[in-house]
Amino acid sequence: MLDFKITRTDLNGSARSGQLTTTHGVFNTPIFMPVGTQATVKAMTPQMLGEAGVGIILSNTYHLYLRPGADLIERAGGLHKFMNWPRGILTDSGGFQVFSLKGLRKISDEGVLFHSHIDGSRHFLSPEIVMQIQQKLGADIAMSFDECAPFPCSYEEATQAVRRTSLWAKRCCDYHRRPDQALFGIVQGNVFADLREQSAREIVVLDFPGYAIGGLSVGEPKQDMYRILDLTHHLLPADKPRYLMGVGAPEDLLEGVKRGVDMFDCVLPTRIARHGTAFSHRGKVVVRNATYAEDFTPLDPDCDCQVCKNYSRAYLRHLVKADEMLAHILLSYHNVYFLIKLMQEIREAIEDQKFEQFYNHFYENYNI
C-alpha cells in the first residue's frame, strides 16, 4: 500500500531524503507534486509531465465529484486509467474547496451541505462520503476530510476546526477500506501553537501512514508559516512522510525541507505561467515585461529543460503578448520542470551532507 524509508538526514538540521513506495511506483523525497485539479495539470499532457520528471500529481475530490462524477471515473477503471497517468496520484479531500464556498455552504458535525459552484445544485459531503468518492477514484494516497479555518480567524473558529478535523479523521479511518490506497491524516490549528499541538496529538494517535500539515499558505505571513512548521514537524512521527499542503514557491519548498517536510503540492507553477511569469535560479522572470522584447537569452541560463534549450525570452514574450496557447504550455513546462529539478538538487545536497551549503547558495543568488 505505502512504504516510506528515510535514506539520509542532514547532520545539521531536520532535512531528510527518502523513498516513498506506492502502488504506482517508488518516488524519491522530498518531492513536489503538481496539481491536476480536474484530472489534468493545466497546459501539460501526461507525457510532458513524465518528461519533466514528475512522480506524483494531485487531483481534487470536490471537483471530480461534481464533474464528471466518481462513478464514471470508477467505470473507466479509476483515475489513473481515466487520465492516462501511470505514476502516483494523491487526491485531496475537497475540504478546502468546500469551505472556500463561504455563503454557499453550511457546516455541522455531520458534514457539509453546499451548493455547487457550477450549477447551484445542492450536495452533502460527510467523511464517509468523501472516503467513498476517493476509493472510487483509486488514487495511491487519499486525504481525510478536514475543516480548514481561514486566515485570519478567531481562536474560537480555529478551535472548532481542530475539533471537527479530529472527529472527521476518526470517521474517515473507520470507513476507509481500500487496501491499495493509503489514507493520510491532516493537522490543523491555524497559526495558534497550542491548537497545532492539540491537533497533532489527536491525529497521530489514529496511526495514519502519513501526515499532512494543512491550513498554511492561506494568507498568513510567511514567518508565521515557518514558525508553525518549526513546531509541527517535531510533533509528527519521524518514520512517516510529512506533507505540507498548498505550498510551491521555491523558497518555501527549501524552508519546508529545512523543517523536515517530505511532500509538497501547489498550483503555483502553472498558475503564474498562465500570467506570463517563470521561475529561475535568480528569481521570477515576468516574461510579459517590455524589458524582454529583444532578449534572446533563455528563460534561465542555469536550466536544462527543453524550453530553455530551444526558446528565448523574446519569443516567449511574443507568445504571451499575442495570447497564444503555446505560451501557457512552454511556461508551465519550464516552471514544473524547475521545481522538480530543484527538489532533485535538494535531495542530492542532503545525500551529500551539503544541505546547509545548498541553502546558503540558493539565497545568495535567488531574488525573492
Give the CATH number, domain containing residue 240: 3.20.20.105
199 and 295 in a common domain: no
40 and 133 in a common domain: yes
Cis peptide leading into residue 30 (ω within 30°): yes
pTM of the model: 0.97
Given the DSSP bridges, would you call strands 111-115 and 182-187 parallel, antiparallel or unpaired?
Answer: unpaired
159 and 17 in a common domain: yes
Kindly state the average pLDDT of the residues 74-84. Answer: 98
* Residues 17-66 pLDDT 10s: 999 999 999 999 999 999 999 999 999 999 999 999 999 999 999 999 99
- Rounded distance, CA 353 to CA 164, Å? 41
* Residues 114-132 pLDDT 10s: 999 899 999 999 999 999 9
Kindly state the average pLDDT of the residues 122-143. Answer: 97
pLDDT of residue 11: 87
288 and 233 in a common domain: no
Given the DSSP bridges, would you call strands 182-187 and 211-213 parallel, antiparallel or unpaired?
Answer: parallel
Check pLDDT > 80 for residue 99.
Answer: no
pLDDT of residue 103: 79
Give all strands of the β-sheet with 122-125 in edge-to-edge order: 105-108, 111-115, 122-125
342 and 281 in a common domain: yes
| Host H or E run for residue 56 | strand 56-60
Whether the Cβ atoms of residue 42 and residue 332 lie closer than 8 Å to each other: yes
92, 146, 252, 262: the catalytic one is 92
Give the residue from 266, 296, 322 where a domain finishes: 266
- Rounded distance, CA 235 to CA 230, Å? 10
359 and 290 in a common domain: yes
88 and 179 in a common domain: yes
Whether the Cβ atoms of residue 278 and residue 317 lie closer than 8 Å to each other: no
pLDDT of residue 1: 79
Number of domains in the chain: 2
What nine digits make up the cell of 210? 502519513
Q: Report phi then psi at 366, rounded to 5.
A: -90, 130
pLDDT of residue 317: 98
Q: What value does the mean pLDDT of the chain take? A: 97
169 and 21 in a common domain: yes
Nearest Cα to 53, choosing from 36, 39, 34?
Answer: 34
Report the amino acid identity of residue 181: Q
Give the residue from 266, 296, 323 where a domain finishes: 266
140, 146, 265, 300: the catalytic one is 265
Give the residue from 266, 287, 320 where a domain finishes: 266
Confidence of residue 352 (pLDDT cuts 50, 70, 90): very high
Whether the Cβ atoms of residue 93 and residue 246 lie closer than 8 Å to each other: no
pLDDT of residue 298: 98
Q: Which residues constitute the domain of residue 10?
A: 3-266
306 and 213 in a common domain: no
**SS3 assignment, position 327:** helix
Active site residue 92: yes
- Rounded distance, CA 211 to CA 185, Å? 5
* Residues 256-310 pLDDT 10s: 999 999 999 999 999 999 999 999 999 999 999 999 999 999 999 999 999 999 9
246 and 122 in a common domain: yes
* Residues 165-206 pLDDT 10s: 999 999 999 999 999 999 999 999 999 999 999 999 999 999
174 and 284 in a common domain: no
- Rounded distance, CA 8 to CA 11, Å? 9
207 and 354 in a common domain: no
